[in-house]
Chains A and B, each alone.
Chain A
Amino acid sequence: NAGVTQTPKFQVLKTGQSMTLQCAQDMNHEYMSWYRQDPGMGLRLIHYSVGAGITDQGEVPNGYNVSRSTTEDFPLRLLSAAPSQTSVYFCASSRPMTGKTEAFFGQGTRLTVV
């Protein structure tokens, strides 16, 4: 049982480039989300999804797009990378949808935008 898998683990982008961070879970969880982690700021929610075909914005959505075509996958797209998007990105999944159960996190993607 792999849990939550994120790829790539590391990435360097040039300003203005686009890319997709991949996230997949094999636990049949309804809820998936993306967070970014910055020093001294904890983790902040970017986008989340409560099921296939349903997504919504979190606290810091600007510059990012998401889609949820299947239960398993929840990719995060950076449309035009900026140095302010240098961060560590975590994908998480959980069930049920009421927030009672724990979120399972991937190992993270460390992104540097130069």
Chain B
Amino acid sequence: AQSVTQLDSQVPVFEEAPVELRCNYSSSVSVYLFWYVQYPNQGLQLLLKYLSGSTLVKGINGFEAEFNKSQTSFHLRKPSVHISDTAEYFCAVSEPFYNQGGKLIFGQGTELSVKP
């Protein structure tokens, strides 16, 4: 069975500082990896995804993530955050099998709070 662990439940950071949100996963098979963002009172929006190929993935709003197979990690980074990045961030995995229908297993979420 797969599982996803987000190592920080809350991350406070000052505006224009760098940030890293950590995500580890566990799976006996190859997986696809995703980061979603949820702004207050809204649904989830895809930030970026790793399917295969280059381990450094760039997404929207200046975010990027690096897939590390040996450490089973998929950490999200941004070199300089803005107030508007304040949101909850979710790491998720899915199995690449036809009959699984792309089911997503989510981590617990990390609340990013950007302060002026």
Contact = CB atoms under 8 A, between A and B. Distances in A.
Interface string A52-92: 00001010000000000000000000000000000000101
By CB atoms of chain A within 10 A, which of B4, B45, B104 has the most? B104
Given A99-B32, A99-B97, A42 B90 contact: yes
Given A41-B108, A43-B90, A106-B43, A98 B103 contact: no
Contacts, number: 80
Interface string B1-36: 000101001000000000000000000000010101
Interface in B95-113: 95-109
Interface of B: 4, 6, 9, 32, 34, 36, 41-46, 49, 51, 90, 92, 94-109
Interface of A: 4, 30-31, 33, 35, 40-45, 48-50, 56, 58, 90, 92, 94, 97-103, 105-108
